[in-house]
Amino acid sequence: MLKKQLIMESAIELFAKKGIDATSVQQITEHCGISKGAFYLSFKSKDELIFSIIDYFTKNVTANIERSVSEQQNPHDKLAAYFMEIFNILQKYGDFATVFIKEQHFINETLIDKMAYYDELNNKLLLDILRELYPSNVDSLQYDLIIIIKGLIASYGDFIIKNSYPFDIEKLTDSLVEKIKIIAKYGEKSFFTKDMFKSYSSHQPMITKDLIVEELQQLLTHIQDEVLRESLQILEKQIQSESPSKAIILGMLSNLKNEQECDWFCYMMRKYYELNISNTPF
């Protein structure tokens, strides 16, 4: 497990410097002083390495942002916390961000779906923040505000990544919160309608039974907790069964819902079995 970490960190550094395709496995192994064979003891393929890196970061970043935002009581502070957390991450993990932003020919279809999922989570979080901040008067502007916030992050984030030189993130956050506040207050002309936004943001992932089972078995190799393991095993039987029980599936999923590692799996299950209950937060 330690070796995996070492390889991933070396890889991120090299990927950021020269790009994913231009970095060979050989170069990665030389950079961390191991042999090529040892690399393939930790990862099945170069693709698996790329997948692991991206998966690891998106998972952590999403969790950190959500935690940081939820720690704030005041709605205004939530938006500030959102900006602040993202800019801090960009400053800290600029290397990774470079890889992440610039190379999106990941090959893997699953990865694209996963990204879309995290993007959806992010949109939902932003929408919640905005609705809490401006309960009434931004109805028509809320989708534009999301896009604008993302644009600000892209633009100022680019500056942060390119300047390793440390600077006042608090001042930046303060400045951007002000801009959003102003636009929400005085803005009248909206562009995005709800439908446009939905069709833009929600790329419907191709979820198959095989993909779900694969993710399930992946989880079983990590997870220790007995209740979680049993829940997963019961779910596997239901999936393979000819007449799966919605009640059992829903019950087992609720057993998993607090386990961050299972988020993606639960999401796939809900989509596949069309279990989107409108009043659940997720």
Partner DNA sequence: TATAATAGTGACTAATCGGTCACTTGTCAA
Partner DNA sequence: TTGACAAGTGACCGATTAGTCACTATTATA
Q: Coil, strand, or helix at residue 234?
A: helix
**Comparison of 34 and 234: residue with beta carbon closer to DNA:** 34
User: Rule CB under 7 A: is residue 111 a binding residue for DNA?
Assistant: no
In this structure, are residues 96 and 16 in contact, taking their beta carbons and an 8 Å threshold? Answer: yes
In this structure, are residues 90 and 82 in contact, taking their beta carbons and an 8 Å threshold? Answer: no
In this structure, are residues 137 and 78 in contact, taking their beta carbons and an 8 Å threshold? Answer: no
Q: Which partner, DNA, its own copies, none, binds residue 76 by CB below 5 to 8 Å per kind? A: none
- Pick out residues in 38-77 that bind DNA (CB under 7 A): 38, 40-41, 44-47
Q: Which of 144, 205, 232, 263 touches its own copies by CB under 8 A?
A: 144
Q: Which partner, DNA, its own copies, none, binds residue 41 by CB below 5 to 8 Å per kind? A: DNA
Place of tokens 């102003």: 182
The two tokens of residue 206 are 């191709």
User: Rule CB under 8 A: is residue 179 a binding residue for its own copies?
Assistant: yes
- Measure the CA–CA gap between 119 and 113, rounded to whole angstroms: 10
CB of residue 264 to its own copies, shortest distance in Å: 23
User: Rule CB under 8 A: is residue 105 a binding residue for its own copies?
Assistant: yes
Query: How many CA atoms are closer than 13 Å to the CA of 253, on its beta-carbon side?
Result: 24
User: Rule CB under 7 A: is residue 3 a binding residue for DNA?
Assistant: yes
CB of residue 19 to DNA, shortest distance in Å: 11
In this structure, are residues 199 and 245 in contact, taking their beta carbons and an 8 Å threshold? Answer: no
Q: Which partner, DNA, its own copies, none, binds residue 174 by CB below 5 to 8 Å per kind? A: its own copies
- Pick out residues in 26-45 that bind DNA (CB under 7 A): 26-27, 34-38, 40-41, 44-45
- The span of 51-59, 129-137, 171-179, 223-231 binding its own copies (CB under 8 A) equals 171-179
Cα–Cα distances in Å, from 228 out to 59, 96, 222, 225? 19, 32, 11, 5
- Measure the CA–CA gap between 65 and 165, rounded to whole angstroms: 23
Pattern 1-40, its own copies, x by CB under 8 A = -----------------xx-xx------------------
Contacts of 124 (CB under 8 A, 6+ apart): none
**Comparison of 109 and 174: residue with beta carbon closer to DNA:** 109
- Measure the CA–CA gap between 17 and 129, rounded to whole angstroms: 36
Contacts of 270 (CB under 8 A, 6+ apart): 253, 276
The two tokens of residue 207 are 């979820």
- The span of 78-86, 100-108, 130-138, 270-278 binding its own copies (CB under 8 A) equals 100-108
Residues in contact with its own copies by CB under 8 A are 18-19, 21-22, 102-105, 144, 147-148, 150-156, 159, 162-163, 167, 171-172, 174-176, 178-179, 182-183, 185-191, 196, 199-200
Residues in contact with DNA by CB under 7 A are 3, 23-27, 34-38, 40-41, 44-47
